[in-house]
């Protein structure tokens, strides 16, 4: 290749103008006004080429790629990164080249192509290690931690995040330190160690508040809300989500908004406000479709499927759950596949398609044992217990439900404990267990679970001939299901009441 001569410095006046354009672009991108940010950077790129300054051209191209990624224009982002690679190659700037590889890796990550993203991140890491760039290594460690997390290798992810944290602290990089703390919190969160997750999220938030990093604050607030929801404190979780959403709307952070809108939907779904939940899921999905965020779209389809399942619309639920599962298979999202399969199994159990349910659960179980995800394993055990009850295998159901209860206690999830206690009540037909399960669901403000508990308890009392005791529970279940629009459950209660009247 023949390299042409390039200037290595810009005239002072033009150099200052380029700095101003870049600074304006940074502010515009931070506030989400990506179109205007791109216009400023195109001016910067034009000037860099006019004065024939290859280094400024390369940095302008990288900035343009970053803006394109923020706007969800991933193809254009990749084109800018490859142009920048040509510039850094001509400059013989290996560190600049490694940064471009990171840029491509990030774009692939946002496209949910985790394995290819990992390849680019590893190539970047190799260059930095050969150059002895310790400060820059932290970025690569963080990136590779993210890849391993998405692929379900949590121990490797935690190792990479820990290395990044040490380097950020060594170089007194507070934004980097807060990011690493957040990422470590996500690993503990995924593993079901919610106390450790909260500890790291709060440490990250304290740093972000101190340095005034609003966008990072919103991510920490959302993460804290997520943990509180798993601990059963849904109202506290909602307060954190709403704080995060306000910041994300002020900064026009569309990716962040999609993430938080989805989690607010989860809160309303757990509280039985299913129509309101569906609105938040739909708003989140719309943003993610525009941004091309396939992994996020899978989350939305899974949650919409779960909501439709609760309403008794099982076939429509399966459509969304299967869409979510296909995306998660394509993107290599191992934990996500487990959740989808568990939900698919639940829908098939309610449809009476036990062979399909068992197939989904067997597949989920084979994946779950390979990763350290306590919540995913608990979900599979809960699904297996439901299957054994439907298949009238009560000994197996009891063994599995007890394992689910022990794991729920271990990872400290009250909703998980409530689900397991209700399963054991149905298996052992113990009045006290039904009442305990209903109380647990009420404590964590989960009316769907409480309604199911009331239905099954009312059904048991009716079967025992205790009609007067059964009636209040069935009426309460009906009232809760009506608020949710859970037509299939309302029909079950009506059928139970008809049978009771005919048996008089």
CB-based contact 480:447 (threshold 8 Å): yes
Its domain, for residue 28, covers: 1-92
∠443-429-377 over CA atoms, to 5°? 60
Question: What does the DSSP assignment read for 278-319?
Answer: HHHHHHHHHHHHHHT-HHHHHHHHHHHHHHHHHTT-HHHHHH
Domain-embedded: residue 254 = no
Report the 10 Å Cβ neighbour count for 200.
Answer: 24
Domain-embedded: residue 42 = yes
The single-letter DSSP state of residue 8 is S
Tokens of 481: 């299901």
Tokens of 210: 């101190």
Please state the domain count of the chain.
1
Domain-embedded: residue 38 = yes
Reported pTM = 0.71
Distance of alpha carbon 370 from alpha carbon 365, whole angstroms: 9
Tokens of 264: 């607010």
- Sign of the torsion angle spanned by Cα atoms 404, 409, 415, 417: positive
Distance of alpha carbon 329 from alpha carbon 432, whole angstroms: 42
Domain-embedded: residue 20 = yes
Domain-embedded: residue 68 = yes
Burial class (CB in 10 A: 0-12, 13-18, 19+), 132: exposed
Alpha-carbon dihedral angle through residues 468, 472, 474, 477, given to the nearest 10 degrees: -170
Tokens of 147: 């890849």
Domain-embedded: residue 26 = yes
Tokens of 306: 């779960």
pLDDT at 106: 93
With CA atoms as reference, report the closest residue to 318 among 329, 309, 331, 327.
309
CB-based contact 385:401 (threshold 8 Å): yes
SS3 at position 71 = coil
pLDDT at 14: 82
CB-based contact 386:423 (threshold 8 Å): yes
Q: Which residue has the tokens 């439901």?
A: 386
The single-letter DSSP state of residue 7 is B
pLDDT at 236: 94
What residues of the chain score a pLDDT lower than 50?
Answer: 1-8
Q: What is the CATH number of the domain that holds 29?
A: 1.25.40.10
């Amino acid at each position: 290749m023949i390299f042409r001569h390039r200037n290595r410095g810009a005239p002072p006046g033009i150099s200052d103008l380029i700095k101003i354009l870049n600074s304006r672009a940074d502010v515009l991108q931070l506030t989400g006004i990506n179109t205007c940010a791109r216009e400023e950077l195109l001016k910067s790129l034009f000037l860099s080429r006019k004065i024939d300054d290859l280094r400024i051209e390369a940095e302008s191209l990288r900035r343009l790629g970053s803006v394109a990624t923020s706007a969800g224009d991933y193809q254009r982002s990749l084109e800018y990164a490859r142009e920048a690679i040509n510039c850094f190659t001509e400059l013989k700037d290996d560190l600049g080249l490694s940064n471009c590889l990171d840029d491509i890796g990030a774009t692939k990550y946002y496209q949910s192509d985790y394995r290819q993203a990992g390849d680019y991140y590893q190539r970047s890491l190799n260059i930095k290690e050969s150059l002895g760039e310790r400060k820059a290594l932290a970025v690569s460690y963080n990136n590779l931690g993210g890849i391993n997390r998405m692929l379900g290798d949590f121990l490797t992810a935690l190792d990479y995040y820990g290395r990044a944290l040490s380097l950020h602290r060594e170089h007194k990089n507070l934004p980097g330190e807060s990011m690493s703390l957040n990422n470590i919190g996500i690993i503990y969160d995924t593993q079901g160690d919610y106390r450790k997750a909260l500890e790291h999220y709060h440490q990250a938030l304290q740093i972000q508040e101190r340095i005034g990093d609003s966008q990072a604050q919103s991510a920490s607030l959302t993460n804290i809300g997520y943990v509180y929801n798993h601990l059963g404190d849904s109202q506290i979780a909602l307060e954190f989500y709403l704080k995060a959403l306000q910041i994300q709307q002020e900064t026009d952070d569309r990716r962040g908004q999609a993430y938080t809108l989805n989690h607010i939907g989860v809160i309303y779904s757990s509280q039985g406000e299913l129509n309101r939940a569906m609105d938040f899921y739909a708003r989140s999905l719309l943003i993610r479709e525009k941004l091309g965020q396939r992994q996020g779209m899978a989350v939305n389809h899974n949650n919409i499927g779960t909501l439709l399942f609760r309403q008794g619309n099982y076939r429509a639920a399966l459509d969304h759950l299967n869409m979510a599962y296909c995306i998660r298979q394509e993107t290599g999202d191992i934990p996500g596949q487990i959740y989808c399969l568990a939900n698919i199994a639940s829908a098939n159990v309610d449809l009476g398609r036990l062979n399909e349910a068992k197939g989904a659960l067997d597949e989920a179980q084979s994946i779950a044992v390979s990763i350290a995800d306590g919540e995913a394993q608990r979900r599979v055990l809960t699904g297996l217990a439901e299957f054994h009850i439907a298949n009238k295998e009560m000994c197996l159901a009891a063994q599995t439900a007890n394992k689910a209860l022990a794991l729920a206690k271990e990872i400290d999830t009250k909703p998980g404990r409530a689900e397991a206690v209700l399963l054991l009540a149905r298996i052992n037909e113990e009045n006290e267990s039904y009442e305990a399960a209903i109380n647990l669901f009420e404590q964590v403000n989960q009316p769907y679970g409480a309604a199911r508990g009331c239905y099954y308890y009312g059904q048991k009392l009716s079967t025992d001939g205790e009609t007067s005791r059964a009636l209040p529970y069935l009426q309460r279940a009906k009232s809760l299901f009506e608020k949710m629009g859970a037509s299939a459950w309302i029909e079950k209660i009506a059928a139970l009441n008809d049978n009771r009247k005919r048996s008089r």
